[in-house]
Amino acid sequence: MTYTVQFPGLGFSVNVNTDAFTLGSFTVKWYGILIAAAFLLAFLYAYKSCKKLRINQDSFIDVVLVGVICGIVGARLYYVIFYPGDKYWNNPLEILNITEGGLGFYGGLIGGVVGGLIMAKIHKMPILPILDVVGPSFLLGQAIGRWGNFVNQEAFGTATDLPWRMLSSNTQEVVGGAAHPCFFYESMWCLIGFILLHVLTRKVRRYDGQIALCYMIWYGAGRFVIEGLRTDSLMTPVLNLRVSQVVALASVLAGIVLLIVFRKRTKLTGCGSQKVMELNNIFDIIEEEKIQEEEKIMEGPSTIFGDMDIDDDEGDALADEVPAKESEEAPAEEEETAEEDEDTREEEGEPEEESDGE
């Protein structure tokens, strides 16, 4: 299916095809490709970060595999539980049909974290450092994965006349005109959050679990605002509230309270604030960072002529010129030495012989 997506206020439009390519009778969707790319990049970042936080990388792979399976189950159950109507009650087998969508992010987050932590416990791995690794990784994956919503022209917001408004056949059908590009809002919010949490992890982190709390606050705050603009939100069965907004607000409040409670905590595993690393006797990472800084300095120019490029031919000419000058100067030095010896003899000189006759 192809959509013509317009941005009237910005003066351009794009044609978006939901199908990437086909293999026989099987069609590969751009949504699936983007989700797979988001997962792959998030996993690679987390895998590389394990070394910095002293997490066993092989065991972490098991944590991720179990987390993904539990995340899919959790995302589906979250959607089914809060789905309006009795569709799934009347036909329970429809719960297994996820080809037409129907996954809730927070359900996937909760299911993935719970499943992953159970596997971490089985491997006797440290829980809090793992949470610090997956926080920035989730943001990186979400920043990429949200573009799948753009391809499918879904998860957009209410009608708006802002300069960056988005118009397509779907927005026209749902809100009667152009709408907020909520996918873009969340993608940029997650990207900025990823950069901030990455820096905090490497340079500021004071205790295990601190980055996970920052993730709860950052993502929850952004999701609370953006969810309020969307038109496809799941609603709570009791109150007329969006489920994601309730969960987001709860995560923000919990994160703030826990940051205050643990503000004096300094138990750290792996990278973070250098002072706290020294308190925890984590000197290997400190030395590694110093070595890397020294190597960068060593690679730079060592003299004021370090930025000057000298060709090989010029270098050879300079090399030949030095021995030539030395060979010219050698005879001159020998002549000067001989003249000095001769003058010395004349000054000291031998007495002349007297004649025998008188």
Question: What percent of the chain stands above pLDDT 90?
Answer: 60
In a domain, 5, yes or no: no
In a domain, 233, yes or no: yes
Q: How confident is the model at residue 104 (pLDDT cuts 50, 70, 90)?
A: confident
Output b/e per residue, 299-331; b: 16+ Cβ within 10 A.
eeeeeeeeeeeeeeeeeeeeeeeeeeeeeeeee
Domain range for 264: 36-55+126-296
Which are the contacts of 268, defined by CB distance < 8 A and separation ≥ 6? 205, 206, 207, 208, 276, 277, 279, 280, 282
Q: Cβ(133)–Cβ(49) under 8 Å?
A: yes
In a domain, 319, yes or no: no
pLDDT of residue 165: 97
Is 103's pLDDT higher than 90?
no
Is 248's pLDDT higher than 60?
yes
Is 356's pLDDT higher than 60?
no
Instruction: Tell me what the mean pLDDT of segment 120-127 comes to.
Output: 95
Which residue type occupies 261?
V
Instruction: Tell me what the mean pLDDT of segment 281-294 comes to.
Output: 64
How far is CA 83 from each of CA 90, 135, 172, 211, 247, rounded to the nearest angstrom? 13, 28, 24, 32, 16
- As a whole number, the mean pLDDT across the chain is 84
pLDDT of residue 314: 47
Instruction: Tell me what the mean pLDDT of segment 164-188 comes to.
Output: 96
Phi, psi for 4 (deg, rounded to 5): -100, 110
Kindly report which listed range (11-20, 28-37, 106-115, 347-356) carries the lowest average pLDDT score.
Answer: 347-356
Output b/e per residue, 56-72; b: 16+ Cβ within 10 A.
beebbebbbebbbebbb
In a domain, 266, yes or no: yes
Which residue type occupies 305?
F
pLDDT of residue 306: 44
In a domain, 199, yes or no: yes
Is 307's pLDDT higher than 60?
no
In a domain, 97, yes or no: no
Residue with the larger pLDDT of the pair 25 and 255: 255
Nearest Cα residue to 293 out of 274, 267, 269, 270: 274
Question: What percent of the chain stands above pLDDT 70?
Answer: 78
Between CA 111 and CA 118 the distance in angstroms is: 11
Q: Cβ(7)–Cβ(180) under 8 Å?
A: no
pLDDT of residue 236: 82
Instruction: Tell me what the mean pLDDT of segment 222-228 comes to.
Output: 95
Cα radius of gyration rounded to whole Å, the chain: 36
Is 277's pLDDT higher than 60?
yes
Which are the contacts of 44, defined by CB distance < 8 A and separation ≥ 6? none
Q: For residue 16, give the DSSP letter.
A: E
pLDDT in tens, 22-77: 988 888 999 889 999 999 999 999 999 999 999 999 999 999 999 999 999 999 89
SS3 per-residue string spanning 260-324: HHCCCCCCCCCCCCHHHHHHCCCHHHHHHHHHHHHHHHHHCCCCCCCCCCCCHHHHHHHHHHHHH
Is 305's pLDDT higher than 60?
no
Phi, psi for 229 (deg, rounded to 5): -90, -20
Taking the model in full, what pTM does it have?
0.76
In a domain, 63, yes or no: no
Is 241's pLDDT higher than 70?
yes
Domains: count for the chain: 1
Is 286's pLDDT higher than 70?
no
pLDDT of residue 233: 85
In a domain, 7, yes or no: no
Is 121's pLDDT higher than 90?
yes
Is 229's pLDDT higher than 80?
yes
